Amino acid sequence: MRDKSILITGGSGSFGNAFVKAVLPLKPRRLVIYSRSEHLQEQMARAFDDPCLRFFVGDIRDCKRLEMAMYGVDIVIHAAALKIVPTCEYNPFEAVQTNIIGAENVCRAAMDTGVKKVVALSTDKAVCPLNLYGATKLAAEKILVAANNLSAGRTKFSVVRYGNVVGSRGSVVPLFKAQVAQKKMLTITDQRMTRFWITLDEAVNFVLTSLEMMKGREIFIPKIPSIRIMDLAEAIDPRGSHDIIGIRPGEKLHEVLLTEDESHLALESWDRFIINPDVSNNTRPGFNYASNTNTNFLSVEVLRKML
């Protein structure tokens, strides 16, 4: 990161704030925050107060604005997305405009301005998608990987795909904590539900290490623990008072980060899987990396300490 010019789309969100906190000590030349919220950008400017920070108000739907922001940029972290599942289900084309067409715009702007590396954030919901959010993120993954065919190595594109981020905006943890503060019962969709679990700091570190090792076309998947929704509820509210409201449209009981069909293209290392048709794979035949069959689950005690 030293002396590099870096742009992060959706940079005023939860991930963007954690990324800036981690990268500023590494002495980048310029760190560009590109997002739609001037209010959140102002909060970041006050919180970090660093001369290398630049703030661009803009939407990834606007390719020309992206090009203007990317001039002189070496690295792009693409974190902007519409990600709340019910919102995307109710406003489907808005999700398409941001998550799919926005991803295409990021690729085109990066190639046109000579960006060297682009890493896009994806989600376990892009695997065998059941909801529109997942479908748009799957399409975005395909767009990013395929962009390497157009750039001919001048700009390298890769993807990181991980699970639920602890405490990020729109996640269940702030909801549960708010319900506890209001002395309400926790609303749980299904008692059997499991999810992959990663902290913001772990997500940022995974992006940085993937950025370092990427050569283009890879989808990087971290080896992370799973949680049971009832364990999370107990960690936050030991009273055990909850209301089962039923699974929502587009919601899965369990999530998958690597399917059996993808595993024959995946290389396994000690801390991650790397999907890349250009490398030899070493995963077990028929391997499926799912939240409910994961060998690593966080206990109630560990969750309580984390939260």
Q: Is 156 a catalytic residue?
A: no
Find, among 285, 290, 175, the residue nearest to 236 by Cα. 175
pLDDT of residue 170: 67
| Cβ-based neighbour number of residue 85 at 10 Å | 21
Contact between residue 18 and residue 41 where contact means Cβ atoms under 8 Å apart: no
Q: What is the four-CA torsion angle of 142, 143, 149, 153, rounded to 10 degrees? A: -110
Catalytic residue among 83, 117, 125, 137: 125
pLDDT of residue 264: 85
Q: pLDDT under 50 in the chain at which residues?
A: none
Distance, CA of 114 to CA of 109 (rounded, Å)? 9
Q: Largest alpha-carbon pair distance within the chain? A: 58
H or E stretch at 67: helix 63-70
How, if at all, do strands 75-78 and 226-228 pair? Answer: unpaired
Distance, CA of 233 to CA of 175 (rounded, Å)? 11
Q: What is the CATH number of domain 5-164+197-222?
A: 3.40.50.720
pLDDT in tens, 247-303: 887 788 999 999 998 988 899 999 999 998 776 677 777 889 999 999 999 999 999
Domain edges within the chain: 5-164+197-222
Number of residues in the chain: 307
Within 8 A by CB and 6+ apart from 239, the residues are none
Q: Concatenate the DSSP letters of all residues of 200-250 into one string.
A: HHHHHHHHHHHHHH--SS-EEEE---EEEHHHHHHHH-TT--EEE--PPTT
CA angle 250-254-258, nearest 5°? 105
